[in-house]
Structure 1
Amino acid sequence: MHLEALRAYCLSFPKATEDIKWDHDLCFSVGGKMFCVASLEPPLSFSFKTTPDQFHELTAMRGITPAPYLARYQWVLVQEGHTLTPQQQEELILTSYALVKGKLSKKDRVAAGV
């Protein structure tokens, strides 16, 4: 997946927003909470939240590691040379969106309109 395809996919989710954090990371959020982060510096790498079972399964695969600073929250970092298909990537990012959206407080869901 290329950065523009990742960007278009993440922004296709209801009420998804984007901003740049830490000078070189494109962050996608829902209700102010991140669900995917992509490096703007080549080669493309991106991180997202997973379930605990997916976390262990994914980090056993080539090119996927626990995400720095976020691994304790079951985030993974997908790097160049990974073995995920584009369909798997989309499913995992959708799961991340759903996990983050599901953890929003009622107040945050109302404020975000989700």
Structure 2
Amino acid sequence: MNLKRYNQYCRSKHASTYVNQWGGSDVWKIGGKVFALARVDKNDILGISFKTSEANFYFLREKDNYRPAPYLASRGMLWIQYYDSTLKHSLATDSDPIIDEELAYYLDESYRLVSLNLTKKLQRELGLI
């Protein structure tokens, strides 16, 4: 998944909002709460971070190209980052459909987890329930 596809996918989520913050990260929120963020680092590597369940956190941190999300996981949050240090962002034209499907699943799950933590009132206002 490249940055363009990431943003298109997150934009398609109901009631999601976008902001560029934290020094150039593409951040997606639901109800004002972050569910995904992506950033291209100084080495031109794209990292996509998302919230996970506890089980997925422990599973993914052992998988190739996944790691506890810098900053967030070090503060005890269950956030994982996908990155591929062999793939330069500026050269990434096509996406691997298997990785895209996998990341879409985890982005959906992050959106769901964050949505569930919103107040019922806000969930109703956003049309989530």
> Is 1:66–1:76's contact at 8 Å kept on the other side of the alignment?
yes
Out of 63, 69, 72, the residue aligned to residue 70 of structure 1 is 72
- Give yes or no for contact 1:47–1:78 (8 Å, CA) kept in 2: yes
Partner of 2:105, secondary structure, is: helix
The total of aligned residue pairs comes to: 113
Q: Are the aligned partners of 1:26 and 1:40 in contact in 2 as well (CA < 8 Å)?
A: no
**For residue 118 of structure 2, what is the aligned residue in structure 1?**
104
Aligned counterparts, 1:32-111, within 5 A: 32-41=32-41, 42-71=44-73, 72-81=76-85, 85-111=99-125
When structure 1 is superposed on structure 2, of 60-69 and 87-96 the one drifting more is: 60-69
The Cα of 1:22 is off from its aligned counterpart by 1.1
Q: Could you list the runs of 5+ residues in structure 1 that have no partner in the other structure?
A: none
Deviation at 1:109, TM superposition (A): 2.2
Compute the TM-score of the two structures, normalised by the length of structure 1.
Answer: 0.89
Matched with 1:23 is: 23
Can you give the 5+ residue segments of structure 2 that lack an aligned partner in the other structure?
87-97
Q: Is the 8 A contact 2:45 2:85 kept in 1?
A: no
With structure 2 as the length reference, what TM-score do the two structures score?
A: 0.80
Q: CA deviation at 1:101?
A: 0.4
Cα shift at 1:93: 0.5
| Matched residue SS, 2:108 | helix
Q: For residue 46 of structure 2, give the secondary structure of its aligned residue in structure 1.
A: coil
